[in-house]
Amino acid sequence: MLNFLKPLPSAPKIEGHKVESEYKRRQLGVLVATCFSYIGYYIIRLIFTTEQVPLMKAYGFTLGQVGFILSTFGIGYGVAKLFMGALVDKSNTERFLAFGLYLSCFFNLLIGFTQNYYVILFLMLFIAVTQAMGAPACQRQISLWFSKKHRGTAFSIWASAHNAGAFFCVASVQLATFLFSGSLTAVFVTASVFSAIIATAMLLINTDRPESAGLPNIAEYSGYEEVDEDGQPTATSLTDKSFGTIFVQDILTNKVVWAVTLTSMMIYIVRYGIMSWIPSYLPTKGFSVEWAKWFIGIFELSAVPGVILMGALSDLIKGRRSLVCLICSIGMAGCLVAYFTSSNHLVITIMLFVLGSLIYAPLALVGLMVNEAVPNYAVGLSTGFMGFFQYVFGETMATALIGNLVDKFGWSAESIVIYIASFIAILLLIYLVFKERRILKMESILNKQAS
């Protein structure tokens, strides 16, 4: 590993009366840094997707070529996320987060100076790998800096950053188009410069882990010890265990990790099964093609308040994340029935608006649940493990599989796949509700004994 990415050693302890103010200041810095850094990541991640039509016109690419680039990116991202998640657990997280964004900016910048299809394909693959450094680093920092009592709110605020990232990506494109007369080179350069500025600013206010700043770990600071499904404390943030040992002991043999990961994969099928096909499906219900495109924005933006509200609710009911997810998923299933069976435009519009929250809220919370199911030294790896299944299997099934089935059997095939995925997610969440209840009971006993 590069020296500057190695984790900082624990610093001398700060005096007792200064701990609380210093902790709160750095917690705010970490939350702001992770949110804005992820916005920067999303700007780079979406710039090619946003500009695909101008690229096809200017460079002569076909829709199939652009689709192959995007699918290569998705698979590359999913695979790389597994390895980057393992790497961040043994790194200086604040530098790892910034370094990944700098590399993404660099490769994105190069795209602006080439029209060669194969060069762009490989650059997008490099971007996929560096983009995979973002989410595991952010989720690790939130797990290390926020207690279970407040982590749901902090995590849901961060999870909403990708929606803001989509907005700023469009803003960056519009600004570059206006200032530089539609130059595609300028579009890629502007996005890279903007995101690099964000990376630099956030690096100045971010902090690796509490111990590196002379502060106690979050379990000591909050007075609340968390445990895994075997009742073992999870507060340790660094370990000498090898990647293989951690992967087998804390991920592959962890039943909660598997249940949460498969739940996430099912909800990803629902998410992309709805969002990816809105422009094609809604015209069959009588919507214009122009209006159908706007509904993707409605679906995305409507999720923000719901995600934050559900995250805060999970904190309010003492960390019952799976219960909140189950309630959302049951509501999601009901809305999906109305969405697929109704021909009323108002009903369909309302259902899409509500589905934004009912899909994205459990997606955010399962990301937190998989982190809370493992020791803190495996948070990044658990994020990567889940991401691998989300993108390599979930997104692929929601796009390639549904697309082929619709071609052969019509749009009813889309609804059947999504209904099945929803039903499986609900079954898994029922199992997780009971698992979570047992773990919270063990935590309660442990913390009562400690006090």
Q: In the structure, what pLDDT confidence band is assigned to residue 1 with cuts at 50, 70 and 90?
A: low
Average pLDDT of the chain to the nearest whole number: 92
Q: In the structure, what pLDDT confidence band is assigned to residue 135 with cuts at 50, 70 and 90?
A: very high
Q: What is the pLDDT of residue 3?
A: 83
Residues 40, 198 contacting (CB under 8 angstroms): yes
Distance in Å from the first CA to the final CA of the chain: 41
Question: What is the DSSP secondary-structure string of 128-183?
Answer: HHHHTTHHHHHHHHHHHHS-HHHHHHHHHHHHTHHHHHHHHHHHHHHHHHHHTTT-
The reply to whether the predicted model has a pTM over 0.85 is yes
The structure tokens 């106690």 sit at 216
Residue range 242-266: average pLDDT?
A: 96
The tokens describing 156, both together, are 């849901």
**Residue of 286, 448, 297, 436 whose CA lies nearest to 365:** 436
Q: Output 87 or 280, whichever has higher pLDDT.
A: 87
Lowest mean pLDDT among 60-69, 213-222, 432-441: 60-69
Q: In the structure, what pLDDT confidence band is assigned to residue 293 with cuts at 50, 70 and 90?
A: low
Backbone angles phi and psi of 227, in degrees to 5: -130, 165
**Residue of 19, 178, 52, 60 whose CA lies nearest to 124:** 52
Domains and CATH numbers, the chain: 19-222 (1.20.1250.20), 243-450 (1.20.1250.20)
Measured distance CA(199)–CA(196) in Å, rounded: 5
Tell me how far CA of residue 300 lies from CA of 124, 322, 357, 359, 407, in angstroms.
24, 22, 9, 10, 26
Residue 131, amino acid: Q
Measured distance CA(186)–CA(182) in Å, rounded: 8
Number of helices and strands (H, E) in the chain?
Answer: 21, 0
**Residue of 73, 107, 92, 70 whose CA lies nearest to 196:** 107
Share of the chain above pLDDT 70, in %: 99
In terms of C-beta density within 10 A (0-12 exposed, 13-18 middle, 19 or more buried), how is residue 386 classed? buried
Measured distance CA(299)–CA(348) in Å, rounded: 11
